[in-house]
Amino acid sequence: MTPLDFTGRHQAVLAVHPVALPLAERPTPGPIAVLPDPEPRFVQAVEEAGGTVAPLGPDTRGLVWLESGPAGQFAPILDANPQVQWVQLPWAGVDAFAEQLRTASRPDLLWTSAKGAYAQPVAEHALVLTLALLRELPMRLRARSWGPKSGHTLYGAEVVVVGAGGIALELLRLLEPFGCTTTIVRRSAEPVAGATRTVTSDRLGEVLPAADVVVVAAALTGGTRELFGAAEFAAMKPTSVLVNIARGGLVDTDALVTALEAGEIAGAGLDVTAPEPLPDGHPLWTAPNVIVTPHSADTPEMIAPLLAERIRQNVRAFLETGEFAGRVDPEAGY
């Protein structure tokens, strides 16, 4: 199967028009290093936007980092190259780089990530998990006899989405045909376009009891780790389902297992887990009301064109416009 190309008809959603940085706050343009392995498609993206790709050296001002695993290799490179003023990270979540974000607090260092760039495939995966859980497909896929009719509809459901980034916004768009009542939970009380209502994070406990579906789409930070624990699951309806397409650390896995076994919630769809990978033999693998996918909401084939487009956009910002997409707040951690 040919990988889908998201850069054509999907471009309207991917186009991000941030406010340009003031000239005094922009990094100094210069050569850009693509590391640790300069994959041709991403080198090409830099060059198509007018950038010059070169090995790290005294004139390097930009760094496109492509390794999405542990940041151990990245830290010494960044420390040894204080001349770098702009860093592009490969994922929407930057928790793997949390230590560097905290310690490399140079005022001249601008961080950008892929946040918002992968919203479409991840939101699509969240919708797939939601529909499968409501229709009780985990049980039916394991069934070897006819059984009773069962299931719930997404039409008119109460959906709580925790987070207000690109994934949440795209999911709101996908939910529109179902006529759901949607509640966004976020740090700010500022209304989110497309949501029925927006509440602040401290009110999470107030909105959980009415939810039919809870989708976790928030960033993992020190303040959101194990955001969902025993108290949150106890607040949810026995018929409700949880979908996590963000980071496994947002959910207390032991508390989730207990809640599922006790019937406090009806099911869970997890594209991310803690620990990750989920060990063989873990109770979640055999739970009859759980779907676990291996962090595959955005596969390499899906995200490659999306990351290339984000790189092109930010190289243009680096060289000309100052309109950087996916800027990271080092203090907030996302």
Catalytic residue among 61, 125, 186, 247: 247
Cβ neighbours of residue 104 closer than 8 Å, sequence gap 6 or more: 78, 79, 330
Q: 329 by DSSP, 3-state: which?
A: coil
Does residue 276 have an active-site annotation? yes
Out of 39, 67, 226, 276, the active site residue is 276
Find out whether the peptide bond into 36 is cis, omega within 30 degrees of 0.
yes
Q: Nearest-CA neighbor of 293 among 239, 334, 248?
A: 248
Q: Give catalytic status of residue 197 as yes or no.
A: no
The active-site residue out of 10, 295, 316, 327 is 295
In angstroms, what CA-CA distances link 56 with 26, 52, 91, 195?
Answer: 20, 12, 22, 45
Catalytic residue list contains 125 = no
DSSP per-residue codes, 62-108: EEEE---S-TTTHHHHHHT-TT--EEE-SSS--GGGHHHHHH---TT
Contact 323, 18 (CB under 8 A): yes
- Residues designated catalytic: 247, 276, 295
